[in-house]
Amino acid sequence: SSDHLRHVESMAQLPSGAGKISHLNAVILGETLASEENDLVFPSQDFSRQALVSSPEQYRKMYERSIQDPAGFWSEIASQFYWKEKWDPEVYNENIDVRKGTVKFEWFKGASTNISYNALDRNIEAGNGGKVAIYWEGNEPGDDEQLTYAELLEKVCQLANYLKHVGVRKGAAVVIYLPMLMELLISMLACARIGAVHSVVFAGFSAESLAQRIIDCKPKVVITCNAVRRGPKAIHLKDIVDSAINESVKSGVPVGLCLTFENQSAMKREDTKWQEGRDVWWQDVVPQFPTKCAVEWVDAEDPLFLLYTSGSTGKPKGVLHTTGGYMVYTATTFKYAFDHKPSDIYWCTADCGWITGHSYVTYGPLLNGATVVVFEGAPNYPNSGRCWDIVDKYKVTLFYTAPTLVRSLMREGDEYVTRYHRKSLRVLGSVGEPINPSAWRWFYNVVGDSRCPISDTWWQTETGGFMITPLPGAWPQKPGSATFPFFGVQPVIVDEKGNEIEGECSGYLCIKKSWPGAFRTLYGDHERYQTTYFKPFAGYYFTGDGCSRDKDGYFWLTGRVDDVINVSGHRIGTAEVESALVSHPHCAEAAVVGVEHEIKGQSIYAFVSLVEGVSYSEGIRKSLILAVRNQIGAFAAPDKIHWAPALPKTRSGKIMRRILRKIASGQLDELGDTSTLADPNVVDQLIALSDC
Ligand code: WTA
């Protein structure tokens, strides 16, 4: 079997409960089924009655239409948006099969529109100018602000005018390195308004990672703030940006302008390091610009943003999304997966530095005219009840978060939850990693008082929006299953040879056809786009995930099957961590694997060989971890460094990660065949060093 198919064993683990239910087909056919059935959790009748999609039959009808007539289905939905000019005549155009030539997805090509206009002006023209667009909740309880749609538009226009004034034109890149301030959303929307391409870098990335991204996309401007508070700490973001820009200057990519928001509650202007001529305070310039700014109409296929994400090999990939299809897709998925109604108050705990924040903090909700809570702080500050305090304060109805947060709050005890009302909650959501059934149940029973359906949304940076997700009023749920595909999505499970397998099965998850929200390329590297995603199983988009389907057709995601690990819902390439470790002068070789972790889902476990003559010490361990923090960011720091006199390799020199994973997770009786190793003794040496 080829390289990318290495982790077959990880997929053999069907979550418990899958496939046990025998009469679900009765429900699908519209008959009734006793809701006491163990693994089925039904939405209440009251919920279903008011839901946008209220039964399996209604879902089926819509789904079938979306598959049989994608052009008709999506163009009808797209017509609800404003297009300066309509697409003509084709709705979409695709080649997903590398064997037939270059892979290409196009939706609504030839149409011109603007996503910022559709998210703001369109809603205001519909009479919602006075509706709250953003409730901003600061790190400190009691520190809050809000903006109506009309006010948000004014702020977006001022920044858009400023960016134009400093020469940012359509197609130019702008890097945004900001925490969850309203200015982050304002920056994204301002770029979109003038056709500039934003590249948001999560403000937890290190200077080196930021530099790498700046060097790749060569922005005219970097937008940041001087500092941010996260829990009790203040982090000096501007210092990180300074060293990133210095680094990129050295690589021949000068950044002429660093627009810096003064985040007064975290740091005073006087205390901020400053480079005259390059650095400009946001507050000194932006408010002077007009509050109206003409929209730059762009082609539906013009780029909207770049977002770097980890893959199984070294360099992060610049995932490129375009305008029209992404707009239609994020808006539609948001609406249906959360059953969004105009009166809802929606809170997604994700950071805009990740795709979830792009699609489901900023674009999807605002395109629906939703009211969005944006939270700057940490969910356990000042204590573990903070989330529910915020839910009660803003009467949040739709709450979307990651399993890792659910598990960490679950550990703190129910009291932190039950002391709050939470009566406003209607739908809960989960994203980023598989949610284990016990966390699902706690989320459902304790947080949602057994009243709120959970939308366990499976998707990826690359997919732009939800791909497999419950529609909360339509289906009985199974804790831990993302249920069924969204409209227009054709997931298939394939075996190692790339043959589709039917019915109850497990294998590799692929997608058969294009969908409007799909990424169009990897920035500057269409070849890598094809090789990574479309060559492993020709004729399909390969997700990198393992998946099984139970006899009722429910999909169960089982985690990555490539060298990507998922730590607290953050996607990290093992190769990136390894490359950070080997950059340490004392590190000869490193191999990184993911191991199961109770709270984080997976944690990073590194096997490290030191160079000749250097002996293992606590000091070196710490400096190795520091190397990772400096090169990637604190969130990628290994939990464990396992000293390795040597790594298990095949005779051709390939590291056998399968064995390392078993050693890391203590499954020593499952090491499997070690006879193909160049030196089988290596394994015993490693086991002996397990506790050092
Ligand atoms: C994983 C995050 C199971 C999956 C939106 C995917 C999930 C990777 C789920 C993408 C889910 C995301 N159930 N696994 N509901 N959601 N994943 O690009 O392995 O940061 O391939 O996008 O997260 O991570 P990314």
Q: Out of 430, 458, 509, 564, give the residue to mutate to test ligand 1, the one with the largest number of ligand atoms within 8 Å of its CB.
A: 458
Q: Is the pLDDT of residue 348 over 50?
A: yes
In short, whether 545's Cβ falls inside 6 Å of ligand 1 is yes
Query: How high does pLDDT run on average in the chain?
Result: 93
Q: Which of 310, 431, 541, 635 to mutate to test the pocket of ligand 1 (most atoms within 8 A of CB)?
A: 431
Predicted TM-score (pTM) of the model is 0.93
Question: Please, which pLDDT band fits residue 30 given cuts at 50, 70 and 90?
Answer: very low
Regarding predicted confidence, which is higher, 38 or 531? 531
DSSP element (H, E) containing 225: strand 221-225
Give pLDDT, residue 29: 30
Task: From 405, 460, 572, give the residue whose CB has the most ligand 1 atoms within 8 Å, as the site to mutate.
Answer: 460
Q: Is the pLDDT of residue 5 over 60?
A: no
Residue nearest to atom 1 of ligand 1 (CA): 433
Q: Are 548 and 493 in contact (CB under 8 A)?
A: yes
- For ligand 1, the distance from its centroid to the CA atom of residue 199, given in whole angstroms, is 20
Mean local confidence (pLDDT), 420-425: 98
Tell me the CA–centroid distance for residue 570 and ligand 1, in Å.
9
- Asked whether 229 lines ligand 1 (CB < 6 A), one says no
Measured by CA distance, the residue closest to atom 24 of ligand 1 is 460
Is any ligand 1 atom within 6 A of the Cβ of residue 433?
A: yes
406 Cβ below 6 A of ligand 1: no
Residue 544 near ligand 1, beta carbon < 6 Å: yes
Instruction: Please report the pLDDT score of residue 329 as a whole number.
Output: 98
Q: Is the pLDDT of residue 58 over 70?
A: yes
Alpha helices in 524-617 (DSSP H): 526-529, 574-582
Residue 617: which pLDDT band, with cuts at 50, 70 and 90? very high
Residue nearest to atom 6 of ligand 1 (CA): 460
User: From the CA of 539, how far away is ligand 1's center (Å)?
Assistant: 22
Q: Whose CA is nearest to atom 3 of ligand 1?
A: 434
> Which of 1-5, 105-109, 384-388, 609-613 has the weakest average pLDDT?
1-5
Whose Cα sits closest to atom 8 in ligand 1? 460
Q: Is the pLDDT of residue 27 over 60?
A: no
Give the atom of ligand 1 at the shortest distance from the alpha carbon of 356.
Answer: 5
Q: How far is the CA of 314 from the centre of ligand 1 (A)?
A: 20
* Banded model confidence at residue 64, pLDDT cuts 50, 70, 90: very high
State the average pLDDT over residues 471-483: 95
263: which residues sit within 8 A by CB, 6+ positions away? Answer: 179, 181, 225, 226, 227, 228
Q: Which of 436, 467, 545 to mutate to test the pocket of ligand 1 (most atoms within 8 A of CB)?
A: 545
Average pLDDT over residues 652-661: 92
pLDDT digits (tens, 9 = 90+) for 118-165: 999 999 999 999 999 999 999 999 999 999 999 999 999 999 999 999
The pLDDT of residue 315 is: 81
**Number of Cβ atoms within 10 Å of the Cβ of 615:** 8
CA of 536 to the centre of ligand 1 (A): 19
In this predicted structure, which of 229-238, 276-285, 327-336, 386-395 has the lowest mean pLDDT? 229-238
Amino acid at 205: F
Mutate to test the pocket of ligand 1, among 400, 433, 541 (most ligand atoms within 8 A of CB): 433
pLDDT digits (tens, 9 = 90+) for 256-308: 999 999 999 999 999 999 999 999 999 999 999 999 999 999 999 999 999 99
Query: Could you identify the atom of ligand 1 that is nearest to the CA of residue 456?
Result: 15
566 in contact with ligand 1, CB cutoff 6 A? yes
CA of 217 to the centre of ligand 1 (A): 25
> Predicted confidence band at 313 (pLDDT cuts at 50, 70, 90)?
confident
Q: How many angstroms does the Cα of residue 200 sit away from the middle of ligand 1? A: 19
Instruction: Give me 283's structure tokens.
Output: 């507050």
The reply to whether ligand 1 has any atom less than 6 angstroms from the CB of 213 is no
At residue 645, the pLDDT reads 94
Ligand 1 proximity of 458 Cβ (cutoff 6 Å): yes
Question: Residue 643: how many CA atoms within 13 Å on its side-chain side?
Answer: 17
Is residue 459 lining ligand 1, measured as CB closer than 6 Å? yes
Where b means 16+ CB within 10 Å and e means fewer, 425-437 reads bbbbbbbbbbbbb
pLDDT at 1 over 80: no
How many CA atoms lie less than 13 Å away from 15 in the CB half-sphere? 25
Strand locations in 393-432 (E): 398-401, 427-430
Distance 401 CA to ligand 1 centre (A): 12
Share of the chain above pLDDT 70, in %: 94
What's the token pair of residue 113? 């529109």
What does the pLDDT look like over 368-383, one tens digit per residue?
999 999 999 999 999 9
Q: How far does residue 547's CA lie from ligand 1's centre (Å)? A: 12
Whether the pLDDT of residue 517 is over 80: the answer is yes
Rounded Cα distance between 65 and 72, Å, is 8
**pLDDT computed for residue 672 by the predictor:** 86
Lowest mean pLDDT among 20-24, 534-538, 633-637: 20-24
Beta bridge partners of 400: 348, 429
- At residue 303, the pLDDT reads 98
Is the pLDDT score of 350 beyond 60?
yes
- Measured by CA distance, the residue closest to atom 5 of ligand 1 is 460
**Distance between CA atoms of residues 502 and 500, nearest Å:** 7
Tell me the catalytic residues: 562
| Ligand 1 mean position, distance from CA 441 (Å) | 20
Q: Band of the pLDDT at 385, cuts 50, 70, 90?
A: very high
CA of 482 to the centre of ligand 1 (A): 11
Residue 692 has a pLDDT of 74
Check pocket membership of 457 for ligand 1, CB cut-off 6 A: yes
E-strand stretches of 243-364? 257-261, 279-281, 298-299, 303-309, 317-322, 345-348
How many whole angstroms separate alpha carbon 247 and alpha carbon 241? 10
Model confidence band, residue 454 (pLDDT cutoffs 50, 70, 90): very high
| pLDDT tens for each residue of 549-582 | 999 999 999 999 999 999 999 999 999 999 999 9
Is the ipTM value over 0.90, yes or no? yes
pLDDT of residue 230: 86
Q: Is the CB of 322 under 6 A from ligand 1?
A: no
680 pLDDT exceeds 70?
Answer: yes
Residue 434 CB–ligand 1 contact under 6 Å: yes
Give the mean pLDDT of 191-218.
97
Question: Which residue, by CA, sits nearest to atom 13 of ligand 1?
Answer: 434
What does each C-alpha distance from 40 to 22, 521, 552, 557 come to in angstroms?
11, 39, 11, 17
The answer to whether residue 191 scores a pLDDT higher than 80 is yes
226 ligand 1 Cβ < 6 A:
no
Residue 232: the pLDDT is 84
Residue 10 has pLDDT above 90, yes or no: no
pLDDT of residue 399: 98
> pLDDT tens, 620-634?
999 999 999 999 999
Q: From atom 14 of ligand 1, which residue's Cα is the shortest distance away?
A: 433
Cβ of residue 465 lying under 6 Å from some atom of ligand 1: no
